[in-house]
Each structure stands twice: as structure tokens, then as C-alpha cells.
Amino acid sequence: MIVGVPREIKNEEYRVAVTPVGVKELVRAGHAAVVEVGAGVGSGFTDEDYLAAGAELAAVDEVFARADMIVKVKEPLEVEWPRFKPDQILYTYLHLGAGYAKPLTEAMMACGIRAIAYETVETATGAHPLLFPMSEVAGRLAIQAGATHLQKANGGSGVLLGGVTGVPPAKVVVIGGGTVGVNAAKIAVGM
């Protein structure tokens, strides 16, 4: 199978769906990987990293045209929809409950792509293993974002989240006890 990894084009999205280590595993399992030039740059991976792992580099149109499976992080944007081809597999977060889901769903149905949404992958116990790591990241980043917004230079009150000698730390309230909340609490306690 040829696995295609396009660069994410959604605004402020810097992740890449498959790292060079992932490419190496795909190649080791007998698959080929075609990665868009520059796809990993936002996550700290160079094109050379992908080449060393066994990937081929290509322009976005070639990635979509050659791939049996497209692996992304975020839902495809409208500019990507014409690149879908019949029976191609799309593996990504699709957020099908969001407001833009109907046009995306219609585009996928019209071309006959087979879509698998990360958020719907479930283990036998009902766990969502592909949501868990993103929820961990979201919880940890929430506290960092909060600390940034507390800084005076960013329009905040100037309170240091962790405090310093003689100055009490900020108070943090975490609402929710799921994976996001637990990870937010862990980081808040550590600061």
C-alpha cells in the first residue's frame, strides 16, 4: 500500500500525521510512503529525515494521486477535496459533528473515498486510543496558554502562575476530570 502524507494546511496547524519513525515502520512492514515536501517542517522534521526513513518526497498533487491511503492530522479543507479519488482511504480527524461536516461528507461521498475518522476508532473496551493523546496534549497546553495570557505583556494581570518566593502562585480551577482535565491539573500542580 502507498501511504500519502500531505502537509497540513489548516491555519495554525503545524503537526504532521506521520513522523520519520512512522515512515520507517511503514516501509519495514512493506508499504511505501509518499510525503509532501515540507510536510514535517512545522513539527521539527526535515525532508532529509523523511528521505532517510525511506519516504519519497512529492508535491501535494502527486501525494494524493499516488496514495492508496491519505493520512492527515486534521479534516481536509475544501481546496483538498478535488484531490480525493475513488476507493482511496482517508485516515484523519474528521470532526463530523462540526458545522462544516455536511459539505465535507458530501464531497467524500461524491468521490467514493473511504474515510476513517480517528475520533471514531474504538477498542474492545470502548476506549478511544486516538483521542487520548490529543486530549493529553490539549490539557497540558491549556495551562501553558493560561500562563501566557496571565503575562502583563499579553494583556494579563501580571500574575506568575507558579509564584515566586514571597509572591503566591495564581489559583487555577480545572473544570472536568477527563483526560484533558487530569493533564491540565498535573501541569498546573507542577508549575
Q: Distance (Å, rounded) from C-alpha 15 to C-alpha 106?
A: 26
pLDDT in tens, 7-65: 999 999 999 999 999 999 999 999 999 999 999 999 999 999 999 999 999 999 999 99
114 and 137 both lie in a single domain:
no
108 and 144 both lie in a single domain:
no
Tell me the pTM: 0.82
Confidence label for 99 from pLDDT (cuts 50, 70 and 90): confident
Residue ending a domain, among 95, 120, 145, is 120
Catalytic-role residue among 31, 95, 128, 149: 95
Share of the chain above pLDDT 70, in %: 99
Confidence label for 163 from pLDDT (cuts 50, 70 and 90): confident
Split into its structural domains, the chain has a count of: 2
Yes or no: say if 36 and 67 are a contact pair by the CB < 8 Å rule.
no
87 and 155 both lie in a single domain:
no
Q: Is 149 a catalytic residue?
A: no
Q: Distance (Å, rounded) from C-alpha 53 to C-alpha 55?
A: 6
Q: Distance (Å, rounded) from C-alpha 115 to C-alpha 87?
A: 9
pLDDT of residue 6: 99
Q: Distance (Å, rounded) from C-alpha 191 to C-alpha 176?
A: 19
Parent domain of 168: 132-190
20 and 99 both lie in a single domain:
yes
Q: Grid coordinates representing 180? A: 484533558
**CA dihedral angle for residue 55, residue 59, residue 62, residue 68, rounded to 10 degrees:** 40
